[in-house]
A and B are shown apart, each in its own frame.
Chain A
Amino acid sequence: MKTIALSFCLAFAVSATAGDWRQFRGPHSNGVSDDAPASGVLLGTNCLAWQTDLPGRGLSSPIVVGDRVFVTCSSGLREQRLHVICFRTADGAKLWERQFWATGRTMCHEKTCVAAPSPASDGQHIVATFSSNDIVCLDLDGNLIWVRGLGRDYPQVGNSLGMSASLLVAGGVVVAQVESQSEAFTLGLDVSSGLNRWKLDRPKGANWTSPALVTHDGTQLVALQSAKGLAAIEPATGRVLWNHTNKTSWVPSCTPIAGSLLIPAQGLTALNFAGADSPKIQWQSNQLRPGTPSPTVWKGTIFTLNDGGVLTSGNAATGERLWQLRLKGPFSASPVVSSGFIYCVSEKGVAQVVDPSKPEGQVVSEVELGETVLSTPAVAHGALYIRSDGRLWRFGRS
């Protein structure tokens, strides 16, 4: 990261009120942190708090619980070595590491790896999954709570290009979306025991999307997306609440927004599910079509990154395109938002901070990390965490 000292000035300062980042794309599955708006200060100084080496590859996002950041990696012969590592957020010191052996198939496309899905936490447990369909649950101190080898339990499941659906924990249930051409299901695992609470058959087909946690009218539901549509389920039981059966993308995931879901389908589709037995399409826009990264939304404005590296802004109420800004792409990582700034990290490791309040959006800061980054960053407690195959960075002063 040779240029870090030259120009990097990410918009992170400590915010005592900021929340954890316990799952892929944060607490609301939309890439937006709970940081207080007041923390959005362009520091104008070197914001790198620390960096540390990682023992293996990973597309999974870091997650943050309190003063600890957790990362998964895969390494070794045929990537059969699975790692769960805990670092102290304050200084990057490694607190513990646990290693496991893959029990399922580890074959992946060379761009991805076995540590592709992100772990999740309910604040007490860390639940990590891998492309081999191994799931392990530990407490925050690294004590092993349970282990599942879904590749052994259900040998047909698996994708020769790799699996990538991240986990969610909701209402004491770990939601594991395990979908492939040969077998497809979603499991609800008891977070305390790892036993199946429910198993829901799902449409067979390759699927790299992740479940999204949707909170509406005080209740939580989980959106399960696949190429064949989107289903909303009750996490405690796996009961399907409603189904939207239009064709949907199998790469970028949907994004919740009050009473609606932004689904990567027909470009981008806003699906309103509030106050109706079945969801209704609110609008569709081909101009807001995302590439690999999932959309994010901030104060009524949608942001998508397409395959050409263009950040597009749109009106969440109408689907109208507002502006476009070409960034240094391409991107695999989904954009994240904190304190009104959008953080986009390209595959080439160029972290770009966009101020969307400027008329056409404006890149206000940029840093070259010097390594390939395919993982979506995490934002928690006033800090930004980015990981590559070999390194974890924390930006934002301690």
Chain B
Amino acid sequence: MKSLARTACASTKSRWRQYFLPGLAALALTVCAAAESASRLAEALAAIRAVGPEGQGNASASAAWKKLIAGDGGSLLAILGAMDGASDYALNWLRPAVDAIASRELKAGGKLPLAELGKFLLETSHHPRARRLAYEVVAHADPAVAERMLMGMLNDPSLELRYAAVQKLVDQADETVARSNQLSAALLYRQAIGAARDATQIEALAKKLAGLGQPVELVQHFGFLTQWQVIGPFDNSGRRGFETAFPPETKIDLTAEYDGKGRKVRWQSYTTTHEYGMVDMNKPCGKIKEVTAYAVTDFFSDTARAVELRLGGKNSWKVWLNGKFLFGHDEYHANCEIDQYIMPAQLQAGRNMILVKVCQNEEVEEWTNEWEFQLRVTDSLGTPVRSVAPVSSNNSGVSN
């Protein structure tokens, strides 16, 4: 028996050596290679994510980029995933890597991990731009599936996906109008304008609804702040007023009187009735050149939260929130659009004070008379965040 057992054992060992060992070795090599490949990919992504301002990290990123694009379609998900939390600098390294790999694989007849890309796309916690990119890869490979997926994205956190979904709905509504079914079309347009966040798309939809006898209150829809206390004019000779800190930049005292340009100035209430919430400083301050003025308002929030202050205007301006300077731009009479400047900011619970400085220069042409701004508070998508009712009388006397 022992002998038989020994023989059997020897035979098993022999088979083990003959068949299983090479298989295991191959498997181990594969696992090692995969691990090494994953490690190389992770290193390359780390190098790219490390890029910073003024070209920092570009040299390492360039070397890493070449390694990155050597990967196959399977590496696309890792690259897209690396966009989560990446800086805008890094995103511009990662995006063309996806382009390069996807186009090469498709050209070579290779397969892309479409199921995984679709799953990535549906996980809204990922970076909106990464998801949009995943959508484009899917759309390139299977346009019909992508088209169907779009319909579920009317409220997507990716602005680009949401825009496309809204546009699809608009197209359907246009077809409905063409069939003379205006009531149904208006409902579809209503649904679309509720989902839309891009200002141009919203304005186009408002026109369509107005054409169907359903005008949209744009000030309300966009959430422009309309009620302000304003003071001015202060001097802006030689455009020096932009950098000059007049008293409102130090302290807001709505009862105070100051030396303005050529006269004493006091705070006064001003409510705009402009269709797009433009606060026209010519009205409270008079049509005057080489001047600056301030507008202040209270904004109440239930909770502390991140928001964006979005300003549009053709004049040089600065904005403060609760005394903290957010941003300013010293440019006159160039161009104006809704959400022209977007400033990330942090609201505190309760009362918040928004201060805007807006300057007028020396130019005399008719088109340089504009001395105005519009401002709204939104979330990161552009959804209006509205001021809640004040909880006490401890405020500047004006709120939206």
Footprint of B on A, CB under 8 Å?
76-78, 96-101, 103, 105, 107-109, 134, 136, 142-149, 152-153, 155-156, 158-161, 180-182, 189, 193-196, 206
Within 311-347 of B, Cβ neighbours of A (below 8 Å) are at 314, 327, 329-332, 334-337, 340-341
Residue of B92, B198, B332, B335 with most chain A CB atoms under a 10 A cut-off: B92
Chain B: which residue is nearest A141 at the CB level?
B100
Q: If the complex has contacts A77-B159, A77-B160, A97-B99, are A160 and B334 also in contact, measured as CB distance less than 8 A?
A: yes
Judge whether A181 and B129 touch: CB under 8 Å: no
Judge whether B99 and A99 touch: CB under 8 Å: yes
- Chain A residues, CB < 8 A from B61: 146-147
- Chain B residues, CB < 8 A from A101: 88, 91-92, 95, 129
Contact among B66, B100, B341 for A98, CB-based, below 8 A = B100
B53 close to chain A: CB less than 8 A: yes
Q: Please, how many angstroms separate the alpha-carbon atoms of A195 and B129 in the complex? A: 27
B234 close to chain A: CB less than 8 A: no
Q: Please, how many angstroms separate the alpha-carbon atoms of A181 and B359 in the complex? A: 14
- The 8 A CB mask of B68-101 against A (1 = contact, 0 = none) is 0100000000000000000011011101110110
- Chain B residues, CB < 8 A from A108: 335
Chain A: which residue is nearest B198 at the CB level?
A77
- Chain B residues, CB < 8 A from A161: 334-335
Task: Give min CB distance, A148 to chain B, whole Å.
Answer: 6
- The 8 A CB mask of B202-233 against A (1 = contact, 0 = none) is 00000000000000000000000000000000
Q: Could you count the A-B residue pairs with CB atoms below 8 Å apart for me: how many are there?
A: 106
Ranked nearest first, the 8 interchain pairs of A and B with the lowest CB-CB distance are: A160-B335, A160-B334, A146-B58, A98-B96, A182-B330, A194-B55, A181-B331, A195-B55
Judge whether B95 and A206 touch: CB under 8 Å: no
Task: Give min CB distance, B184 to chain A, whole Å.
Answer: 28
Q: Please, how many angstroms separate the alpha-carbon atoms of A99 and B102 in the complex? A: 13
Task: Give min CB distance, B332 to chain A, whole Å.
Answer: 7
Q: If the complex has contacts A97-B103, A195-B54, are A146 and B62 also in contact, measured as CB distance less than 8 A?
A: yes
Q: Please, how many angstroms separate the alpha-carbon atoms of A132 and B159 in the complex? A: 19
B300 close to chain A: CB less than 8 A: no
Q: Please, how many angstroms separate the alpha-carbon atoms of A105 and B343 in the complex? A: 12
B163 close to chain A: CB less than 8 A: yes
Q: Please, how many angstroms separate the alpha-carbon atoms of A180 and B316 in the complex? A: 13
Judge whether B92 and A146 touch: CB under 8 Å: no
Q: Please, how many angstroms separate the alpha-carbon atoms of A194 and B332 in the complex? A: 31
Contact among B88, B93, B95, B331 for A180, CB-based, below 8 A = B331
Chain B: which residue is nearest A150 at the CB level?
B54
Judge whether B62 and A144 touch: CB under 8 Å: yes
Q: If the complex has contacts A193-B55, A193-B58, A195-B54, are A160 and B331 also in contact, measured as CB distance less than 8 A?
A: yes
Chain A: which residue is nearest B69 at the CB level?
A143
18 example contacts (A-B, Cβ-Cβ < 8 A) are as follows A77-B159, A98-B99, A99-B96, A100-B96, A101-B88, A103-B89, A107-B335, A143-B65, A144-B62, A147-B51, A149-B89, A149-B92, A152-B53, A160-B335, A160-B340, A161-B335, A182-B330, A206-B334
Since A160-B334, A161-B335, A193-B59 are in contact, a sample of 6 more A-B pairs with Cβ atoms closer than 8 Å, ordered by chain A residue number, is A76-B160, A143-B65, A148-B55, A152-B89, A159-B334, A195-B58
Q: If the complex has contacts A109-B335, A160-B336, A194-B55, are A182 and B96 also in contact, measured as CB distance less than 8 A?
A: no
For chain B, which range describes its interface: under 10, 10 to 19, 20 to 34, or 35 or more residues?
A: 35 or more
Within 158-210 of B, Cβ neighbours of A (below 8 Å) are at 159-160, 163, 198
Judge whether B330 and A156 touch: CB under 8 Å: yes
Chain B: which residue is nearest A155 at the CB level?
B327
- Chain B residues, CB < 8 A from A189: 55
Q: Please, how many angstroms separate the alpha-carbon atoms of A142 and B327 in the complex? A: 37
Q: Please, how many angstroms separate the alpha-carbon atoms of A77 and B334 in the complex? A: 21
Q: Please, how many angstroms separate the alpha-carbon atoms of A284 and B332 in the complex? A: 31
- Chain B residues, CB < 8 A from A142: 96, 100
Task: Give min CB distance, B52 to chain A, whole Å.
Answer: 10
Q: Please, how many angstroms separate the alpha-carbon atoms of A99 and B140 in the complex? A: 15
Q: If the complex has contacts A100-B96, A152-B88, are A146 and B331 also in contact, measured as CB distance less than 8 A?
A: no
- Chain B residues, CB < 8 A from A149: 53, 88-89, 92
Task: Give min CB distance, B322 to chain A, whole Å.
Answer: 21
Task: Give min CB distance, A74 to chain B, whole Å.
Answer: 14
Q: Please, how many angstroms separate the alpha-carbon atoms of A196 and B159 in the complex? A: 34
Residue of A98, A99, A147, A194 with most chain B CB atoms under a 10 A cut-off: A147
Q: If the complex has contacts A101-B95, A107-B340, A156-B329, are A146 and B55 also in contact, measured as CB distance less than 8 A?
A: yes
- Chain B residues, CB < 8 A from A194: 55, 58
Judge whether A107 and B95 touch: CB under 8 Å: no
Q: Please, how many angstroms separate the alpha-carbon atoms of A100 and B129 in the complex? A: 11
Chain B: which residue is nearest A82 at the CB level?
B92
Residue of A103, A182, A193, A196 with most chain B CB atoms under a 10 A cut-off: A182
Judge whether A103 and B340 touch: CB under 8 Å: no
- Chain B residues, CB < 8 A from A103: 88-89, 92
Judge whether B335 and A147 touch: CB under 8 Å: no
Q: Please, how many angstroms separate the alpha-carbon atoms of A145 and B335 in the complex? A: 34
Judge whether B54 and A196 touch: CB under 8 Å: yes
Contact among B65, B69, B103, B334 for A181, CB-based, below 8 A = B334
Q: Please, how many angstroms separate the alpha-carbon atoms of A381 and B329 in the complex? A: 45
- Chain B residues, CB < 8 A from A98: 96, 99-100
- Chain A residues, CB < 8 A from B99: 97-99
- Chain B residues, CB < 8 A from A147: 51, 58, 61, 89, 92-93
- Chain B residues, CB < 8 A from A76: 160
Q: Please, how many angstroms separate the alpha-carbon atoms of A194 and B89 in the complex? A: 13
Q: Please, how many angstroms separate the alpha-carbon atoms of A251 and B202 in the complex? A: 34
Judge whether A145 and B62 touch: CB under 8 Å: yes
- Chain B residues, CB < 8 A from A160: 314, 331, 334-336, 340
Q: Please, how many angstroms separate the alpha-carbon atoms of A29 and B61 in the complex? A: 33
Q: Please, how many angstroms separate the alpha-carbon atoms of A99 and B330 in the complex? A: 31
Judge whether A96 and B53 touch: CB under 8 Å: no
Within 10-67 of B, Cβ neighbours of A (below 8 Å) are at 51, 53-55, 58-59, 61-62, 65-66
Q: Please, how many angstroms separate the alpha-carbon atoms of A108 and B88 in the complex? A: 21
Chain B: which residue is nearest A194 at the CB level?
B55
Chain A: which residue is nearest B160 at the CB level?
A77
Q: If the complex has contacts A101-B91, A153-B54, are A181 and B330 also in contact, measured as CB distance less than 8 A?
A: yes
Judge whether B103 and A144 touch: CB under 8 Å: no
Contact among A97, A100, A195, A196 for B92, CB-based, below 8 A = A100
